[in-house]
Amino acid sequence: MITLGKKAEKEEFAFILDYLPYGRTDDNRPMYQKKPLAQGIGEKHFVLMEMMTKENVVPVSHDRVYIGEGDRPVIDHVKRRMIFSELTNSAQMELPRVIEKVILSDEKRFLSFFNDAYPITTRLHMLELLPGIGKKLMWAIIEELKKGKFESINQLVSRVKGLHTPEKLLMNRILEELKDENIKYRVFTTPMPPKR
Protein backbone atom coordinates (compact mmCIF):
# COMPACT_ATOMS: atom_id res chain seq x y z
CA MET A 1 0.00 0.00 0.00
CA ILE A 2 1.26 3.46 -0.86
CA THR A 3 1.08 6.21 1.70
CA LEU A 4 1.84 9.86 1.28
CA GLY A 5 4.25 11.45 3.77
CA LYS A 6 6.45 8.54 4.82
CA LYS A 7 8.46 8.55 8.02
CA ALA A 8 12.22 8.49 7.64
CA GLU A 9 13.80 5.07 8.02
CA LYS A 10 17.48 4.22 7.92
CA GLU A 11 18.82 3.17 4.56
CA GLU A 12 20.72 -0.12 4.27
CA PHE A 13 22.17 0.34 0.80
CA ALA A 14 23.16 3.39 -1.20
CA PHE A 15 24.34 4.07 -4.73
CA ILE A 16 27.42 6.21 -5.30
CA LEU A 17 26.74 9.38 -7.29
CA ASP A 18 30.18 11.01 -7.02
CA TYR A 19 33.51 10.38 -5.29
CA LEU A 20 35.49 13.37 -3.99
CA PRO A 21 39.05 12.20 -3.24
CA TYR A 22 39.97 15.58 -1.70
CA GLY A 23 36.70 16.28 0.11
CA ARG A 24 34.26 19.08 -0.59
CA THR A 25 35.45 22.10 -2.58
CA ASP A 26 33.87 24.48 -0.05
CA ASP A 27 35.98 22.98 2.76
CA ASN A 28 38.60 25.65 3.51
CA ARG A 29 40.80 23.46 5.71
CA PRO A 30 44.35 22.65 4.58
CA MET A 31 44.58 19.75 2.09
CA TYR A 32 46.18 17.37 4.64
CA GLN A 33 43.12 17.73 6.90
CA LYS A 34 40.59 16.90 4.19
CA LYS A 35 39.30 13.35 3.87
CA PRO A 36 37.88 11.58 0.81
CA LEU A 37 34.11 11.30 0.70
CA ALA A 38 31.33 10.12 -1.54
CA GLN A 39 27.92 11.51 -2.34
CA GLY A 40 25.16 8.97 -2.76
CA ILE A 41 21.48 8.16 -2.70
CA GLY A 42 19.68 5.60 -0.58
CA GLU A 43 18.14 2.64 -2.36
CA LYS A 44 14.85 2.49 -0.43
CA HIS A 45 13.87 6.08 0.39
CA PHE A 46 16.12 8.02 -2.01
CA VAL A 47 17.85 9.86 0.84
CA LEU A 48 20.73 11.99 -0.47
CA MET A 49 23.80 11.64 1.72
CA GLU A 50 27.44 12.42 2.20
CA MET A 51 29.50 9.38 3.21
CA MET A 52 33.04 8.97 4.49
CA THR A 53 34.83 6.19 2.61
CA LYS A 54 37.17 3.62 4.10
CA GLU A 55 40.87 4.30 3.72
CA ASN A 56 42.33 3.26 0.34
CA VAL A 57 38.89 2.49 -1.10
CA VAL A 58 37.81 4.33 -4.25
CA PRO A 59 34.11 3.80 -5.01
CA VAL A 60 32.87 4.28 -8.56
CA SER A 61 29.72 6.09 -9.65
CA HIS A 62 26.69 3.73 -9.70
CA ASP A 63 28.32 1.30 -7.22
CA ARG A 64 25.81 -0.16 -4.75
CA VAL A 65 27.36 0.02 -1.27
CA TYR A 66 26.25 -1.31 2.11
CA ILE A 67 25.69 1.42 4.74
CA GLY A 68 23.68 -0.51 7.35
CA GLU A 69 24.81 -1.80 10.74
CA GLY A 70 27.93 -3.94 11.05
CA ASP A 71 30.91 -4.29 8.74
CA ARG A 72 30.88 -1.91 5.79
CA PRO A 73 33.57 -2.75 3.22
CA VAL A 74 33.45 0.58 1.32
CA ILE A 75 31.79 3.21 3.51
CA ASP A 76 33.15 4.06 6.95
CA HIS A 77 30.06 6.02 7.99
CA VAL A 78 27.33 8.31 6.72
CA LYS A 79 28.37 11.83 7.64
CA ARG A 80 25.15 13.72 6.95
CA ARG A 81 21.99 13.95 4.94
CA MET A 82 22.05 16.39 2.02
CA ILE A 83 19.69 18.38 -0.14
CA PHE A 84 19.75 18.30 -3.94
CA SER A 85 21.50 21.69 -4.32
CA GLU A 86 24.45 20.45 -2.24
CA LEU A 87 25.24 17.67 -4.71
CA THR A 88 28.18 18.19 -7.06
CA ASN A 89 27.39 18.76 -10.74
CA SER A 90 28.59 15.23 -11.47
CA ALA A 91 26.30 13.78 -8.79
CA GLN A 92 23.33 15.75 -10.16
CA MET A 93 24.07 14.42 -13.66
CA GLU A 94 24.29 10.80 -12.46
CA LEU A 95 21.17 11.02 -10.29
CA PRO A 96 18.53 10.34 -13.01
CA ARG A 97 20.40 7.26 -14.29
CA VAL A 98 20.88 5.87 -10.78
CA ILE A 99 17.22 6.41 -9.87
CA GLU A 100 16.15 4.65 -13.07
CA LYS A 101 18.52 1.79 -12.25
CA VAL A 102 16.89 1.42 -8.80
CA ILE A 103 13.40 1.43 -10.36
CA LEU A 104 14.24 -1.22 -12.96
CA SER A 105 16.04 -3.44 -10.43
CA ASP A 106 12.95 -3.53 -8.18
CA GLU A 107 10.05 -3.54 -10.66
CA LYS A 108 7.45 -5.01 -8.28
CA ARG A 109 7.99 -2.24 -5.72
CA PHE A 110 7.42 0.51 -8.28
CA LEU A 111 4.60 -1.31 -10.08
CA SER A 112 2.72 -1.12 -6.77
CA PHE A 113 2.52 2.64 -7.35
CA PHE A 114 0.36 1.99 -10.42
CA ASN A 115 -1.50 -0.99 -8.90
CA ASP A 116 -2.33 0.68 -5.56
CA ALA A 117 -2.69 4.36 -6.48
CA TYR A 118 -5.79 6.08 -5.15
CA PRO A 119 -7.53 9.49 -5.31
CA ILE A 120 -5.87 12.06 -3.03
CA THR A 121 -8.69 14.60 -3.34
CA THR A 122 -11.87 14.78 -5.38
CA ARG A 123 -9.88 16.49 -8.15
CA LEU A 124 -6.47 14.82 -7.90
CA HIS A 125 -5.45 11.18 -8.27
CA MET A 126 -2.03 9.87 -7.21
CA LEU A 127 -1.32 8.82 -10.79
CA GLU A 128 -1.48 12.48 -11.80
CA LEU A 129 1.51 13.22 -9.56
CA LEU A 130 3.71 11.63 -12.22
CA PRO A 131 4.86 14.27 -14.73
CA GLY A 132 3.31 13.34 -18.07
CA ILE A 133 0.16 11.65 -16.74
CA GLY A 134 -2.99 13.65 -17.29
CA LYS A 135 -6.65 12.72 -16.91
CA LYS A 136 -6.81 10.68 -20.14
CA LEU A 137 -3.82 8.46 -19.28
CA MET A 138 -4.94 8.21 -15.65
CA TRP A 139 -8.34 6.85 -16.73
CA ALA A 140 -6.69 4.43 -19.17
CA ILE A 141 -4.58 3.00 -16.30
CA ILE A 142 -7.60 2.78 -13.96
CA GLU A 143 -9.68 0.99 -16.65
CA GLU A 144 -6.89 -1.54 -17.25
CA LEU A 145 -6.57 -2.16 -13.51
CA LYS A 146 -10.19 -3.34 -13.46
CA LYS A 147 -9.00 -6.29 -15.60
CA GLY A 148 -6.25 -7.15 -13.10
CA LYS A 149 -3.08 -5.80 -11.56
CA PHE A 150 0.02 -5.15 -13.66
CA GLU A 151 2.67 -7.87 -13.28
CA SER A 152 5.58 -6.11 -15.01
CA ILE A 153 6.59 -2.79 -16.53
CA ASN A 154 6.40 -4.40 -20.00
CA GLN A 155 2.83 -5.54 -19.29
CA LEU A 156 1.91 -2.06 -18.05
CA VAL A 157 3.24 -0.52 -21.28
CA SER A 158 1.50 -3.09 -23.51
CA ARG A 159 -1.86 -2.79 -21.73
CA VAL A 160 -2.01 1.02 -21.41
CA LYS A 161 -1.85 2.72 -24.80
CA GLY A 162 0.10 5.98 -24.66
CA LEU A 163 2.23 4.97 -21.67
CA HIS A 164 5.71 4.34 -23.06
CA THR A 165 8.38 4.62 -20.35
CA PRO A 166 6.82 4.44 -16.88
CA GLU A 167 10.28 4.16 -15.30
CA LYS A 168 11.11 7.64 -16.65
CA LEU A 169 7.84 9.06 -15.29
CA LEU A 170 8.64 7.60 -11.87
CA MET A 171 12.23 8.87 -12.06
CA ASN A 172 11.03 12.39 -12.92
CA ARG A 173 8.63 12.36 -9.95
CA ILE A 174 11.40 11.23 -7.59
CA LEU A 175 13.64 14.00 -8.94
CA GLU A 176 10.87 16.56 -8.34
CA GLU A 177 10.54 15.38 -4.73
CA LEU A 178 14.32 15.60 -4.21
CA LYS A 179 14.63 19.06 -5.76
CA ASP A 180 11.66 20.67 -3.98
CA GLU A 181 11.91 20.56 -0.19
CA ASN A 182 8.41 22.07 0.10
CA ILE A 183 6.62 19.78 -2.36
CA LYS A 184 3.03 19.21 -1.27
CA TYR A 185 2.77 15.44 -1.85
CA ARG A 186 5.68 13.08 -1.17
CA VAL A 187 5.29 9.53 -2.46
CA PHE A 188 8.81 8.14 -2.86
CA THR A 189 11.05 10.28 -0.64
CA THR A 190 11.15 11.46 2.95
CA PRO A 191 11.52 15.13 3.90
CA MET A 192 14.62 16.49 5.61
CA PRO A 193 14.21 16.40 9.38
CA PRO A 194 13.55 19.86 10.89
CA LYS A 195 16.65 21.77 11.96
CA ARG A 196 17.16 22.00 15.71
How far apart, in whole angstroms, are the C-alpha atoms of residue 132 and residue 140? 13
Of all residues in the chain, the percent with pLDDT exceeding 70 is 94
Range with lowest mean pLDDT among 5-9, 83-87, 109-113: 5-9
How far is residue 160's CA from residue 131's CA, in Å, rounded to a whole number?
Answer: 16
Residue 6: pLDDT band with limits 50, 70, 90:
low
What domains, with CATH codes, occur in the chain?
13-90 (2.40.50.140), 106-179 (1.10.150.280)
